[in-house]
Structure 1
Amino acid sequence: MIRMSLRQFRIQGLVGAILLALAAGYLFRLGADIRAARDTSQLPSQYGQTMLILAAGLGLVPALVGAFWGAPLVARELEAGTHRLVWNQSVTRRRWLAVKLMVLGLASVAVAGTLSALLTWAAGPVDQVAGDRFSAILFGARGVAPTGYAAFGFVFGAVTGLLVRRTLPAMALVFLAVIAVQFAVPNLLRPHYMPAERATVPMSADAINQARALGSITGGPVIGGVEVPNSWITDTSRLLTSDGRQLSDTAFNRCLDDAPKTGATGRFGDTAVCLGELDLHVNIAYQPNQRFWPFQWIELAIYLGFCALLAAVGLWRIQRRVT
């Protein structure tokens, strides 16, 4: 049964192996170039954008695995009618599905784990200087979590193909759904794996200039991209006055639109000076960087739990409902 699964998977496996070899060659070269740099303090500015692109690319792997490896696994058999022959042999339906999920699921995990290990190694010096591997995009491309993403993508794809029974619709649905899950988990679940630390950050003119955004589409005294060294900021309050009240929209908009001309430099210039004179602060919630590995293992466990539930649904469905 295992040998047959591998034979049926040989084309997809060969394509995956070729792409993995090409990616490995690139990451080895990139890691060598990074380690050859003389001024390590400039690594984030030189390679930061590259790391974001690579992290986003690795983030697509679970969706691609689910769509091209998982979704056709059962859907193609049902669509072609070959399941009638397969399930009339000595191997039971549940064993047939369980073996396929195990063998090809492990292949998916191996691909994602190899890519994650190579990218983690290549990006090591950049991450050490930047100290931001806890950010939403980079976190998902480091450590052990990507193996859980790939396992989930594959099992979700296989079960979706079993339920939808059509290969192309299942592939499209799986691709979009896996991306949606990977967007939802960092924003809805990850900040709450462990109780957040809290702090009050004074908003001087210098602190405001170091933020990445000021104001919002809906208006109001909002500041974005406040940073705390070696931490992942999960929540930032609106600008608050010294007595803890929210800064009024009138005062905020006056500094934003009609700040006194002081000739100040910096990202927000005169606006930062105007707001800095109001004795403002923000309350933040954050996760320290030393929680990176506990969060990695927690997220891996969550995705493996998803896999177990999906596999149970698939094994029940294939025995009782599929004809």
Structure 2
Amino acid sequence: MTTLTHDPARTAPTGSARNHWIPRLGGPVWLVWRQHRAAFWTLIAVTLLGVVVMVHLRGQMMDFLATQDPTSRRAGGLPTEFETHAHRLFTIGSYLGYIPVLAGVFLGAPLVAGDLESGTAKLVTSQSVSRLRWLTTKLAVPAVMLALSTGVLSAVLTWWWHPVKGLSSGLIWTSFFSVTGVTPVAYALLTFTVGVAAGMVLRRTLVSMVVTLGIVVAIGFVWDELWRSLGHVLSLTTDKGVGPGAAPPELPTEAEQQGQGTYFLTSSGDRLDWTTCLDQIEDDRAHTACLESKHVIGWSLDYLPVAQMDTMQWLGAGVMLAVAAAVATFVLLRGRKRLL
């Protein structure tokens, strides 16, 4: 009888062979992941939770819309129950608007400042890893994680919002400009790099977080004031007079009016403020005579159309990414020469 023997060396793969397909981190990448794994896993968990919540709420909204007459959506005749779904969408979008603040204060500011304060930076750079390589990895790993997380959340929110944009006063495109599309990714990367730069200069974690918060709030204020200037303002005019029976121009669907309101248009093409002849508004004849004396022939108003939203988002994202790249370059150059 022949005896069969079991040869472990031939039948069982070695550990390295068995796991050869599993990606392994090494060097500075492993160190950065190890140092900040709590923050990274939190980021992953929050992203997954946000996706699940938004997918669930979108499903409820679409089920509700499926029970309504399709013509009511075009005519704006949805019942008041829809406002509950609109409020949920607007609220989640508002929450995602805090991502740049969290990215700068809690991820960017402590990133390098913590290592400088604890002495980890001195230990790492005393090894075979150069300062430039360590800083590059230190910036790149969290930036990639942040970009992926923000991009996924923004994409899901955009997918949720698109079927109903403009169907409610809270769902107009200007309310979702900074939290949909590519804008949130660029915005988060900008505040992240600003936080890292603040941490490198100030070298104290808590101080860096406070200063970063102030800078990020200032960036947000400037962004809110200037992002509309990324678009090309269009004008609507009439030339049939402004008296009884002459209606002011109506804005296109989902357009946002710009400026102070509706202006008076003169025959020479000039525009007068809507307060022109306002002191004679109680007397129709006197008011009409006043406007005629100023050669008013109609109305004029400025607006931004929704069609420009994507272009404006990409342009704004490009500006923010350029600033982020400049800040990151400052971090690398300063860190290479004056890190410790």
On whether the aligned pair clears a TM of 0.5, the verdict is yes
Does the Cα contact within 8 Å between 1:109 and 1:150 map onto a contact in 2? yes
Pairing partner for 1:235 from 241, 251, 259: 259
* Count of equivalent residues: 287
Which structure: larger Rg? 2
The residue aligned with 1:12 is 39
Aligned to 2:173: 134
For residues 168 and 190 of structure 2, what CA distance do their matches in structure 1 show? 30
The one-letter code matched in structure 1 to 2:50 is A
CA contact (8 A) 1:236 1:283 kept: no
- What aligned pairs does 1:75-90 form with structure 2 within 5 A after superposition? 75-90=113-128
1:292 to 290, 302, 309: 309
- Change in Cα spacing, 1:101 to 1:206, as seen in structure 2 (3 Å) is farther
Q: How does 1:1-323 map to 2 (within 5 A)?
A: 1-37=28-64, 38-39=67-68, 40=73, 41=76, 42=78, 45-127=83-165, 129-130=167-168, 133-135=172-174, 137-188=175-226, 190-200=227-237, 228-237=252-261, 239-240=263-264, 244-248=271-275, 252=278, 283-323=300-340
1:228-250 alpha-carbon deviations (Å, 9 max, x no partner) = 4232334345654767433548x
Structure 2 distance, partners of 1:247, 1:286, is: 16
The amino acid of 1:191's aligned partner reads: R
Q: Which ranges in structure 2 are unaligned for 5 or more consecutive residues? A: 1-27
Kindly, what percent of the aligned residue pairs are identical?
26
CA distance in 1, matches of 2:99, 2:252: 31
Q: Is the 8 A contact 1:145 1:297 kept in 2?
A: yes
Rate the CA distance shift 1:53–1:227 in 2: closer, same or farther, 3 A: farther
Q: Which moved more, 1:149-158 or 1:197-206?
A: 197-206
8 Å CA contact retained: 2:237, 2:301: yes
Please tell me whether the aligned partners of residues 191 and 234 of structure 1 are also in contact (alpha carbons under 8 angstroms).
no
Q: Structure 1: 5+ residue runs without aligned partners?
A: 209-225, 261-273
Cα distance in 1, alignment partners of residues 242 and 52 from structure 2: 46
In the TM superposition, what is the alpha-carbon distance from 1:182 to its structure 2 partner? 2.6
- What SS class does the counterpart of residue 314 from structure 2 fall into? helix
Letter in 1 for 2:132: R
The Cα shift of 1:124 comes to 2.2
Distance change (3 Å), C-alpha of 1:207 and 1:314: farther
Change (3 A) 1:254 1:74: farther
Q: 1:176 to 1:205 in 2, by over 3 A?
A: farther
Are the structure 2 counterparts of residues 9 and 254 from structure 1 closer, same or farther at C-alpha, using a change threshold of 3 Å?
farther
CA distance in 2 between counterparts of 1:295 and 1:74 reads 33
| Cα RMSD after superposing both structures | 3.3
Q: Name the SS of the counterpart of 1:6 in structure 2.
A: helix
Q: SS of 2:127's equivalent?
A: coil
Letter paired with 2:232: P
Q: 2:237 touches 2:265 (CA, 8 Å); kept in 1?
A: no
Shift of 1:63: 0.9
TM-score for the superposition, normalised by structure 1: 0.77
Partner Cα separation in structure 1 for residue 242 and residue 140 of structure 2: 53
**How many angstroms apart in 1 are the aligned matches of 2:150 and 2:56?**
19
**Which amino acid letter does the alignment assign opposite residue 310 of structure 2?**
W
> In 2, are the aligned partners of 1:106 and 1:151 still within 8 Å (CA)?
no
Report the counterpart of residue 212 of structure 1 in structure 2.
Answer: none
Instruction: Report which stretch shifted further, 16-25 or 102-111.
Output: 16-25
> Per-residue deviation at 1:130?
4.9
Structure 1 162/236 Cα, relative in aligned 2: closer, same or farther at 3 Å? same
TM-score by length of 2: 0.73
Q: How many Å apart are 1:180 and its aligned residue?
A: 2.5
Partner AA of 2:44 in structure 1: A
Contact 1:75 1:161 in 2 (8 A): yes
